[in-house]
Structure 1
Amino acid sequence: MSQDGNRLGADLSLHVVMFHEAIARRLGVSNSEHKMLDLVARHPDGITPGELAAATGLSNAAVTKIIDKLVDADYVRRERNPSDRRSFRIHTTPHFRQTSRPTAAGLAQRIEEMNESFDEDELAAIARWVTGVIEALRAETERLETGGEPGARGGDGHTEALGG
């Protein structure tokens, strides 16, 4: 990737993190709690605490602590499984949806307006790049979490395209 591409990747990474931290502050939660809310919101039928632990790499105890805080803030609710009263699913609340919707609405509108200036081939190229970055992030996160060696793609594990 060219130096300009590396710089753009680093800038994108920085501003994505800053945007999500600003949303978290607006909601009165930590960035980790905000990302947990994001995961819950992506599952309209709810998600189990075990699934949240698996998706985040957090311990069951840490997930429970975050869920407790988010329940207290009226951002999520626990709903018992009617067929297995020992288990439950986590759902976002109407309060969360009402509170969070305005935080991302401006960004969604800006992106939609920007996308109108691209043709289908350009949008396809952008989608390939973003998908590739997401896959690189997943792979490198897993590598870092498991203590594995850098990937076999010739890198040294240093994610220059993302400014790391």
Structure 2
Amino acid sequence: MTPEVSQIAAEPASKDRLRLWLRLLKTTRHIEAELRDRLRTEFGTTLPRFDVMAALSRHADGMKMSKLSGVLRVSNGNVTGIVDRLVDDGFVVRVAVPGDRRASLVRLTPKGQGEFARQATAHEAWLDAMLDTIDQSEAVAFAQRLDSLAHELMEDT
């Protein structure tokens, strides 16, 4: 037996899965910290603002605040403050929902679309550079496996 095989047999699978989780978490935190720093330095913005603009970029007709917070998996209160600042900057507009005085749609303005396009291009290039040691087929395989795992975990809840 090779040393790797004998070590695998000597420990329960739970230990290896724990190590995997910790490595995924460490790697994710490192990448996220780097993205936060670059967004702040190069665009004077934050990752949460980028995430809101990214979500809105996929919904040209706009989204209700409740749906936006659901997509981002954060509270309405967190999203409201971010949207307020994006409105102040002219990147986002609130539009009344006909027949529902309490609700409004939030959507990117043309200025916001342009700014998000600039940020998204840089964001993609940064991630590509950070992950350039992973070839395309590995990236596809990792993504498929993580998607599968996420689906399995959601079925269990």
- Shorter-chain TM range is 0.5 to 0.7
Matched residue of 1:97: which SS?
helix
Q: Which has the larger radius of gyration?
A: 2
Q: How many angstroms apart in 1 are the aligned matches of 2:95 and 2:70?
A: 19
* Aligned equivalent of 1:97: 113
Match for residue 58 of structure 1?
75
| Structure 1: runs of 5 or more not aligned | 140-150, 152-164
- TM-score, length-normalised on structure 2? 0.60
Equivalent residue number for residue 128 of structure 1:
144
If the length of structure 1 is used for normalisation, what is the TM-score?
0.58
| Corresponding residue of 2:99 | 84
Give the C-alpha shift of residue 73 in structure 1.
Answer: 0.7
Query: How many Å apart are 1:44 and its aligned residue?
Result: 2.0
Counting helix residues as a fraction of each chain, which structure ranks higher?
A: 2
Shift in Å at residue 46 of structure 1? 1.0
Greater RCO, 1 or 2 (C-alpha within 8 Å, sep 6+): 1
Deviations 1:5-54 (A, max 9, x none): 96476334411342144225544333333322222223222111112233
Aligned residues: 135
Q: Runs of 5+ in structure 2 lacking a partner?
A: 1-15
Give identity over the alignment, percent.
Answer: 18
Runs of 4+ in 1 over 4 A off after TM superposition: 1-9
User: Match for residue 44 of structure 1?
Assistant: 60
